Structure 1
Amino acid sequence: MTRLPAPAPAPLPLSRRAVLGGIAAGGALLAAPALAQRALPHVVVIGAGPGGATAARALARAAGAPRVTLVEANADTITCFFSNLYLGGLVPLEHLRHGHDRLAATPGLRLVHDRATAIDRDARRVVLAGGEMLDYDRLVLSPGIDFVPGSVPGWSESDAALMPHSYKSGDQVALLMQQVQAMPQGGTVAIVTPPAPYRCPPAPYERAAMIARTLRRVNPTAKILILDPKDHFTKQVLFEEGWGRHADGMIDWIGPEFGGAAVELRPDRMELLVEGEVQRVDVCNVIPAQRAGVLAQLAGLTAADGWVPVRAESMQAQADPAIWVLGDAADAGAMPKGAFAAHAQAYVAVDAILADLAGTAPHPPFYESACWSCLAKGDSVKLASSFAPHDGRIEQTATSISQPAEDAATRRATYDEAFSWYHTITAEMFG
């Protein structure tokens, strides 16, 4: 694989630098003082993920900050990012669980544990399931993903107790781990992967590596089948090299040429039909096709493809300049859907919102993304990119990627960097 020029800033320090006044958030802090000269506007943020929680805390901590209300349905968060490492036995589940006490204690931020059920864009009002109505001057929407109904024939979310998706925050990842550990010796795990675009493109393949790590300890004759509708996937050379080194032939990838795009499920029988041929499995992880979270759909912000088009320079929804959409729900051009990307988008949005409220010009946006994938303990690979607006779209400007056959010290440094990043981003999200 070729190595392109790496982004000038290192991905790990960016979020820290942004909080302290760097390229992304620093501009937002400079834009804010004019807000103190008049009655404080109200910014409502929906969703306490990498986009929403980061934006809410940055807005609340800005000089002359607006009033900020953060709406989050869950009492705590089990992060989707890093959850594969739990499946590999590298981190306990509690490492992924984050309470919201410190988030709620952020000065200037009101946290409401409730579910937003509707957005009245004409009235600029958010309706909550508990009956409260929140009027807003600006709205930040970070609703994550929902699944496309019927995208995997024979499976619906009502079948997730039998065939878990484990692709949203919550306890599904614990259920998948229980099923993997309880399967019979020599059994089969199937992973049904989604078509692009979807949350965290490398995640299904890292998941296979991590499940294999667990099975090698408790069930070394088991098999893992990856059923894939795509004819290639991100970091494919690195993953296949890692599977060969660490999984002892346990993992088989089945692309569309051999039936990976023609899969039907029978959850009650734990069966897959692959081009009409029955395949009995013991565990089936189903990752369906995806679209923006339902609230974005109800608000009329999504395009025909199910994602929210945004303005490349600010993350504003193209359908409504009073709404900013962050993270997986947004059609952010070349940016992948992932935690790092959502985190970077949050700082661009904060700068734009504060400038908008103050009547000043925002600073030039700076976007970047990085994704670490774990192949085994002490062996991780990384893809990092930077992005900029171009002709109305967010386009990639530079990228770097781990190389095959890297030495053990390099891979160990990448592995350790991933843990450092996780600590940094969760501290910035939750306090």
Structure 2
Amino acid sequence: MATQRFNSIRWSRRNVLKATGATGLAVGLGGGIRASRAGGATGKRVVVVGGGPGGATTAKYLRKFDPSVEVTLVEKDPVYHTCFGANWYLGGFREFERTRQGFDALQKEHGVKIVQDTVTRWDSDKGEARLAENGKLSFDRLVISPGIDFRWEDVSGMGPEDTEQVPHAWAGGKQYRILRRQLEAMDDGGTVAICPPTNPFRCPPGPYERASLVAHYLKENKPRSKVLVLDAKDGFSKQGLFEEGWAELYGDMIEWVPGSEGGVIHRVDPGNRVVATREGFEEHDVDVLNVIPPQRAGKIARDMGLTDETGWCPVDQRTFESSVQPGVHVIGDASIAGAMPKSAFAANNQGKMTAAAIVSELRGQKVPEPSLVNTCYSLVGPDYGISVAAVYHFEDGKIRGVEGAGGVSPSGAGDFFRMREARYSRGWFAGVTDDIWG
């Protein structure tokens, strides 16, 4: 039986990888480049705002699909630090620098112009984007990949000024270092509280991978300690698989409290690292407190009127063009993308499809039908991996899951199977970061 399960996951993984490649092939990865020689979008200009998975992928694949298009990527930071893979750093088995992604390859190998600046506003009718420091850029199409921002008003007692004491560690870089230092400084026998937000939010399995890998670090270094997960929800992504792994690897070290049983935060006292829950207003005095606030689209999207009452950006899910601003495409975590989760791999796929749609429109050609995939690996321990994969298509105006496609890791798999999934997880990280920034 174990052999059959292993063969099954190998088969499904190969097909997911094929599906990932098919996303490019379906929109004419090779054909688009050949077509550009005969009648490309010469002289057309596209400005991409945001160098994360969605923005960087779009910029790269615009140039791959049609090298005649002039592409400028505007990103305020010289490097991008991934959130995916950063929990491994918290677990103590991945260097922080491995989360660091640069933009040199996009510029030198793919001809993307990189501008280190911030877009403050734009006029889509005039085709102009204003920069904070370097004047303005002209565009025929604008792509916004603004990521997330936090709903601090929904976290009583805490604001952005408190994240040195109570880090959220839900944006790459400095926040992860703060949380790691706090874990290192904690005495053996202490309690780490992780507070996941309400849906929707970036990387649905992320808080539970974090709980797993923090527990791994504590088991190795401070084995009398505990991880308390105070959840705003009554369920979470890959829950059965996570809980199976927790029991196997960590015993009773991790306690998950669902929202209906006292997991919803009422208020936070950052200075004393105290969190009170709504259920009976129970107070938890902990040693390390990691509050992940509820989320919405990034500030520039809100400032420029791209969001609706949900706080996220409605788009034509066939092209990711904004439903409220023609000529402006919104991709990645900020967009309302049907059945797709807010994940790096989803943003990577959306970037390719958006690039294909823009190139087709600039040429006056028919926009291809979207075909997208999402693959999500999580580590419960360094040698214990779990995964889920899904395939999506465009139907009745929305991105919907393809019934019977994709799959999830089986319950009850043996050590060898989980080890292989953990190895695939590392391979996935290397592959997707190279596809985005390489």
* TM-score greater than 0.5 by the shorter chain: yes
Aligned equivalent of 2:309: 304
How many angstroms does 1:61 deviate by? Answer: 2.7
How many angstroms does 1:157 deviate by? Answer: 1.2
Structure 2 counterpart of 1:416, which letter?
A: R
Aligned equivalent of 1:141: 144
Structure 2 counterpart of 1:407, which letter?
A: G
* 1:341–1:42 distance in 2 versus 1, CA, 3 Å: same
Q: Which moved more, 1:25-34 or 1:65-74?
A: 25-34
Alignment of 1:192-271 (within 5 A): 192-271=195-274
Structure 2 counterpart of 1:385, which letter?
A: A
How many angstroms does 1:8 deviate by? Answer: 9.5
Q: Is the 8 A contact 2:27 2:353 kept in 1?
A: no
How many angstroms does 1:90 deviate by? Answer: 2.3
Scaled by the length of structure 1, what TM-score is found? 0.94
Structure 2 counterpart of 1:326, which letter?
A: I
Question: What is the SS of the residue equivalent to 1:321?
Answer: coil
* 1:34–1:302 distance in 2 versus 1, CA, 3 Å: farther
Q: Which of 177, 183, 188 is matched with 1:174 structurally?
A: 177
Q: Which moved more, 1:318-327 or 1:205-214?
A: 318-327
Alignment of 1:28-177 (within 5 A): 28-29=32-33, 32-33=36-37, 35-36=39-40, 39-177=42-180
Q: Structure 2: which 5+ residue stretches go unaligned?
A: none
- Provide the C-alpha distance between the structure 1 equivalents of 2:418 and 2:111, rounded to a whole number of angstroms: 42
How many angstroms does 1:262 deviate by? Answer: 3.7
- Provide the C-alpha distance between the structure 2 equivalents of 1:287 and 1:123, rounded to a whole number of angstroms: 39
Aligned equivalent of 1:411: 418
- Provide the C-alpha distance between the structure 1 equivalents of 2:29 and 2:76, rounded to a whole number of angstroms: 27
Q: Which moved more, 1:90-99 or 1:333-342?
A: 90-99
Q: Is the 8 A contact 2:65 2:356 kept in 1?
A: no
* 1:24–1:49 distance in 2 versus 1, CA, 3 Å: farther
Q: Is the 8 A contact 2:166 2:270 kept in 1?
A: yes
Q: Is the 8 A contact 1:88 1:210 kept in 2?
A: yes
How many angstroms does 1:257 deviate by? Answer: 2.0
* 1:295–1:25 distance in 2 versus 1, CA, 3 Å: farther
How many angstroms does 1:336 deviate by? Answer: 0.3
Aligned equivalent of 2:434: 427
Q: How many residues align?
A: 427
* 1:136–1:184 distance in 2 versus 1, CA, 3 Å: same
How many angstroms does 1:324 deviate by? Answer: 1.4
Q: Is the 8 A contact 2:63 2:112 kept in 1?
A: yes
**Identity percentage of aligned residues:** 37
Aligned equivalent of 1:400: 407
Structure 1 consecutive aligned stretches of length 4 or more whose deviation exceeds 6 Å? 3-9
Structure 1 counterpart of 2:128, which letter?
A: R
Deviations 1:192-217 (A, max 9, x none): 11100000000000000000000011
Aligned equivalent of 2:380: 375
Aligned equivalent of 1:364: 369
| C-alpha RMSD of the superposition | 2.2
Alignment of 1:12-31 (within 5 A): 12-15=17-20, 21=25, 25-26=29-30, 28-29=32-33
Structure 2 counterpart of 1:137, which letter?
A: D
Q: Structure 1: which 5+ residue stretches go unaligned?
A: none
- Provide the C-alpha distance between the structure 2 equivalents of 1:272 and 1:35, rounded to a whole number of angstroms: 61
Scaled by the length of structure 2, what TM-score is found? 0.92
Q: Which of 326, 348, 351 is matched with 2:353 structurally?
A: 348
Deviations 1:310-357 (A, max 9, x none): 112111111123111111011001100001101111111111000000
Q: Is the 8 A contact 2:301 2:313 kept in 1?
A: yes
More helix by share: 2
Aligned equivalent of 1:322: 327
Question: What is the SS of the residue equivalent to 2:176?
Answer: helix
Q: Which has the higher contact order (CA 8 A, sep 6+)?
A: 1
